[in-house]
Amino acid sequence: MSNNDTRAWKDAIYSQFARIGKALSSPKRLEILELLSQGPKTVETLARETEMSVANVSQHLQILLQARMVCFEKHGTYAIYRLSSGTTTKLLLLLEDLGEEILAEVNQLREELTRNMEFPEPLSIEQLESRLQSGDITLIDVRPKEEYDFCHIPGAISIPITELEKRLSSLPRDKDIVAYCRGAYCVYAIQAIELLRMQGFQAFRLEEGVREWNELHPTHQ
């Protein structure tokens, strides 16, 4: 292969990788990908979760489709979008890890989530495993029910954050309650712990979510 041919090949291959870079260059598209990593969703659900119009979400999805990062199926009048590859979830987790490692602003924003809140330290996945085995906790998944149905940590009970207050009476008071949501950058578990502790429960937060659990327990996916 001549130098000219080598240069053309390199330009071509990096142009293909740049399609993914372009898809990741928007905060809103990153949020859409994060949401889809929790399970398939309609355009309308994505619009509600991201607080964008359906038209704007559709435009972002078109770019993600062009990069082949998402795909969809038609169900009647609805289009259900999903990630086209499980590797995208790994990429999103690596992106978070990289941001925490090299961007001080990420860690500052993360600390703001629980600043001025008297919460105990969140549990790690390893601590959660130990306590699940001992049976001394109740684990609740406070994400939307459809995300729980798609995938959840074994042993977890689905109590969406929107239903938690009216379902407090169903939770045992002789066990610690551990809540989890979509991961470190989701506020549902924080809101759940705040409510539970105000109501007298011993409650703890799992900082990670299903994606991180599945990285350590791929057979549960």
Q: What is the reported pLDDT for 219?
A: 64
Query: The tokens of 153 are what?
Result: 């940590």
Query: The tokens of 206 are what?
Result: 């799992």
Hey, which residues does 190 pair with through a beta bridge? none
Q: What is the reported pLDDT for 15?
A: 96
Percentage of the chain surpassing pLDDT 90? 86
Q: Catalogue the long-range contacts made by 31-36 (C-beta closer than 8 Å, 24 or more residues apart).
A: 32/57, 32/60, 32/61, 32/64, 33/64, 33/69, 33/70, 33/83, 33/88, 33/92, 34/92, 34/182, 34/185, 36/70, 36/81, 36/82, 36/83
Distance CA 55, CA 52 (A): 8
Catalytic residue selected from 71, 151, 181, 186:
181
Phi and psi at 178, nearest 5°, equal -115, 125
Distance CA 169, CA 35 (A): 30
Distance CA 221, CA 215 (A): 9
User: pLDDT digits over 206-215, tens only?
Assistant: 999 999 999 9
Give the mean pLDDT of 127-136.
Answer: 93
Mean of all residue pLDDT scores within the chain:
94
Which residue did the predictor score with more confidence, 113 or 52? 52
Q: What is the reported pLDDT for 53?
A: 98
Distance CA 38, CA 19 (A): 23
Does the structure show a pLDDT above 90 at 74?
yes
Assign residue 205 a region: left if phi > 0, alpha if psi is -120 to 50, beta otherwise?
A: beta
Give the mean pLDDT of 123-135.
Answer: 94
Give the mean pLDDT of 16-42.
Answer: 97
User: pLDDT digits over 163-195, tens only?
Assistant: 999 999 999 999 999 999 999 999 999 999 999
* CATH class of the domain whose range is 3-89: mainly alpha
Name residues whose C-beta falls within 8 Å of residue 216's C-beta, 6 or more positions apart in sequence. 125
Q: What is the reported pLDDT for 177?
A: 98
Q: What is the reported pLDDT for 113?
A: 81
Does the structure show a pLDDT above 60 at 13?
yes
Task: List the one residue out of 105, 117, 95, 100 whose CA is nearest residue 30.
Answer: 95
Q: What is the reported pLDDT for 218?
A: 78
Q: What is the reported pLDDT for 221?
A: 46
**Is 151 among the catalytic positions?**
no
What superfamily in CATH does domain 116-220 come from?
Rhodanese-like domain (3.40.250.10)
Percentage of the chain surpassing pLDDT 70? 99
- Do 3-89 and 116-220 come out as alike in CATH topology? no
Distance CA 160, CA 141 (A): 7
Q: What is the reported pLDDT for 116?
A: 74
* Span of 76-85, 118-127, 152-161 with lowest mean pLDDT: 118-127
Name residues whose C-beta falls within 8 Å of residue 161's C-beta, 6 or more positions apart in sequence. 142, 143, 181, 188, 191, 192
pLDDT-based confidence at residue 2 (cuts at 50, 70, 90)? confident
Task: Estimate to the nearest angstrom the gap between the alpha carbon of 109 and the chain centroid.
Answer: 17
> Domain extents for the chain?
3-89, 116-220
Give the mean pLDDT of 62-74.
Answer: 97
